[in-house]
Structure 1
Amino acid sequence: MDTNKVSLVTGASKGLGLTLVKKLLTAGYKVAATSRDLNTLTSEAGDRSEQFLPLETTLTDDGSVAHAISTIVNTFGTIDVVVNNAGYGQLGTLEELSDDEARKNFEVNVFGSLNVIRNVMPYFRKNKSGAFFNISSIAGFLGTFPGWGVYNATKFAVAGFTEALSAEVKSLGITATVVYLGYFKTNFLLKGSLRLAEKSIAEYKEARELETIHQEQIPGNQPGDPEKAASVLIQVAESDQRPLHLFLGTDALNMAKNKIETLKEQLTANEQLSKSTDFV
């Protein structure tokens, strides 16, 4: 494994991001990590060193991101791997969430990653190499989770722009992978990583039931091991054949397979209707 590679991990002060940073550092890689709170990041991952560069960065501010990227390159000389991990969950039905709540979720989960990609690409293009890992969710492939519509939309967006990015950079020696996470035992469902709608409407029975499940039953019982997920990400980053789509967790894999089967059934059932719209 080429431990001279420089990795950038966003949203690195907790959850999978923090686990990945620690594992990369232990393996001897050079790591740059961003967080909105530098003190929290350094208290969790360690102080700045020859191997580690913690950065306080506002991902929704393109200027802040540009400064972070230039600092990384000036410090380590290059960037080889980017893990766009920063994001948060937003609960609330489409009616309940305000325009401000919805836009804030998109600002972090979508536009934050786009800011990173835009500022990293000049260096990747110059090096004619590089790997992006954009962290989505099984909710970015399967959207039938009541009360998660806006969050789902942000993660579908991550999948969509990653697919486009992979095609745009193919001839440049750069890869892009969308990572669909299942339920991993991190703090994602805890306060600070999961926000509730400011306005709640009791009539949304299914959404309220799923909200309760995510607050009271799932936390602490997630089947996924973040240590193993981090190891897989490192393994794939070192591979010469990086996939465009990577599902992590048996739960995510099974939900994806079930959706694919449903799609196949509906494609077959409606094939004649689909074809009937062509000019004859």
Structure 2
Amino acid sequence: MKKQKVWFVTGASKGFGLSLVKQLLQQGHQVAATSRNVNALYTAIGRNDADFLPLRVDLTNEEEVGQAIEQTVGHFGSIDVVVNNAGYGLTGSLEELSDQEARQNFEVNVFGTLHVIRKVMPYLRQRQSGHIFNISSIGGFFGSFPGWGIYCATKFAVEGLSESLAEEVKAFGVKVTIVAPGYFRTDFLSSGSLTLPQHPIEAYKEVRESQDMHQNSLNGNQSGDPEKAVAAIIRIASEQNPPLHLFLGEDAYQMAYDKMKAVESDLESWREVTLSTAL
């Protein structure tokens, strides 16, 4: 029989997080799920039993994150899989977004993830096992989206820290997987998950067009099925040798190759200059 696991999932009241928690519970796993609103979790999941532990957590507060990890271990006895899913989108050119707007996006998308890693690693190290999934985005690998520079920067940061984390924790038997989805039919592009610039500059025509396209044309019409994406994550959690990089969606697959080809082209086109710096 397939071994059931204890999962700790952040940002669980909507989107990928909600779908993941529902599928996990249906499959008999035990799940601690975090949100800023516990009532929203109860309503969205629709069950209240010993296998489901809803937790109100502000991920930007490291003390609250630590308490949530302790509650999870106290309730279930262990943690096997961690999914750093919480985050939100932010559009706006680099010029028009304020320092406060940019920093807040980093606080949630990057430092929220770091808080969970810091607080959960002592348990995983002690058990000499575990699997951490950090939910990034194709925007954490391919950044050519006008108006998404700060959001992409947060996800590039998640990718970089995850690659280092994988090297740091493999000696403890802990695995790391970066999940980079393309466009999926979640509420990511809705007003509750996407923040707009407080002081837009109309001169940025391409940024405004991109913003309008994402909000009004693409929202609800994304090609990716979130239920299939979640099923893929659950499958990877059962693999003996899971990937460090997991791209999800045909669009993510293509953009990843486009990025690699562009880098290769620059490397080869400017090889002479690159190598000219050697002693």
Give the TM-score taking structure 2 as reference length.
Answer: 0.99
* Aligned counterparts, 1:92-171, within 5 A: 92-171=92-171
CA distance, structure 1, for counterparts of residue 24 and residue 48 of structure 2: 15
Query: Cα deviation per residue 1:138-182 (whole Å; 9 max; x = unaligned)?
Result: 000011111100000000000000000000011110011111110
CA distance, structure 2, for counterparts of residue 241 and residue 103 of structure 1: 35
Instruction: Return the letter of the residue paired with 2:52.
Output: F
CA distance, structure 1, for counterparts of residue 28 and residue 179 of structure 2: 24
Instruction: Return the letter of the residue paired with 2:132.
Output: F
CA distance, structure 2, for counterparts of residue 273 and residue 2 of structure 1: 54
| Equivalent position of 1:276 in the other structure | 276
| Equivalent position of 1:264 in the other structure | 264
Using the TM superposition, give the Cα deviation of residue 47 of structure 1 relative to its aligned residue in structure 2, in angstroms. Answer: 4.1
CA distance, structure 2, for counterparts of residue 4 and residue 202 of structure 1: 53
Match status 1:6 vs 2:15: no
Gapped regions of structure 1 (runs ≥ 5): none
Percent identity for Structure 1 against Structure 2: 55
Q: Provide the aligned length of Structure 1 versus Structure 2.
A: 279
Instruction: Return the letter of the residue paired with 2:173.
Output: G
Instruction: Return the letter of the residue paired with 1:37.
Output: N
| Equivalent position of 2:231 in the other structure | 231
CA distance, structure 2, for counterparts of residue 138 and residue 257 of structure 1: 11
Instruction: Return the letter of the residue paired with 1:216.
Output: N
**2:83 alignment partner, SS class:** strand
CA distance, structure 2, for counterparts of residue 138 and residue 269 of structure 1: 25
| Equivalent position of 1:32 in the other structure | 32
CA distance, structure 1, for counterparts of residue 41 and residue 81 of structure 2: 20
Is the 8 Å Cα contact of residues 3 and 28 (structure 1) preserved in structure 2?
Answer: no
CA distance, structure 2, for counterparts of residue 3 and residue 158 of structure 1: 29
CA distance, structure 1, for counterparts of residue 45 and residue 8 of structure 2: 14
* Aligned counterparts, 1:38-49, within 5 A: 38-49=38-49
Gapped regions of structure 2 (runs ≥ 5): none
Moved segments of 4+, more than 6 Å:
none
Instruction: Return the letter of the residue paired with 1:209.
Output: E
Query: Cα deviation per residue 1:196-248 (whole Å; 9 max; x = unaligned)?
Result: 00000000011011011001100111010010001000000010011110000
**1:134 alignment partner, SS class:** strand
Query: Cα deviation per residue 1:78-112 (whole Å; 9 max; x = unaligned)?
Result: 00000000000001111111111000000000000
CA distance, structure 1, for counterparts of residue 67 and residue 272 of structure 2: 54
Using the TM superposition, give the Cα deviation of residue 29 of structure 1 relative to its aligned residue in structure 2, in angstroms. Answer: 0.3
CA distance, structure 1, for counterparts of residue 212 and residue 192 of structure 2: 17
Using the TM superposition, give the Cα deviation of residue 3 of structure 1 relative to its aligned residue in structure 2, in angstroms. Answer: 4.2
CA distance, structure 1, for counterparts of residue 233 and residue 112 of structure 2: 21
Is the 8 Å Cα contact of residues 3 and 27 (structure 1) preserved in structure 2?
Answer: no
CA distance, structure 2, for counterparts of residue 171 and residue 65 of structure 1: 25
Deviates more, 1:67-76 or 1:38-47: 38-47
Using the TM superposition, give the Cα deviation of residue 48 of structure 1 relative to its aligned residue in structure 2, in angstroms. Answer: 3.4
Match status 1:182 vs 2:182: yes
| Equivalent position of 2:21 in the other structure | 21
| Equivalent position of 1:202 in the other structure | 202
CA distance, structure 1, for counterparts of residue 7 and residue 104 of structure 2: 27
Is the 8 Å Cα contact of residues 47 and 54 (structure 1) preserved in structure 2?
Answer: no
* Aligned counterparts, 1:208-227, within 5 A: 208-227=208-227
CA distance, structure 1, for counterparts of residue 274 and residue 48 of structure 2: 58
Instruction: Return the letter of the residue paired with 2:69.
Output: I
Using the TM superposition, give the Cα deviation of residue 4 of structure 1 relative to its aligned residue in structure 2, in angstroms. Answer: 2.9
CA distance, structure 1, for counterparts of residue 157 and residue 46 of structure 2: 33
Using the TM superposition, give the Cα deviation of residue 192 of structure 1 relative to its aligned residue in structure 2, in angstroms. Answer: 1.0
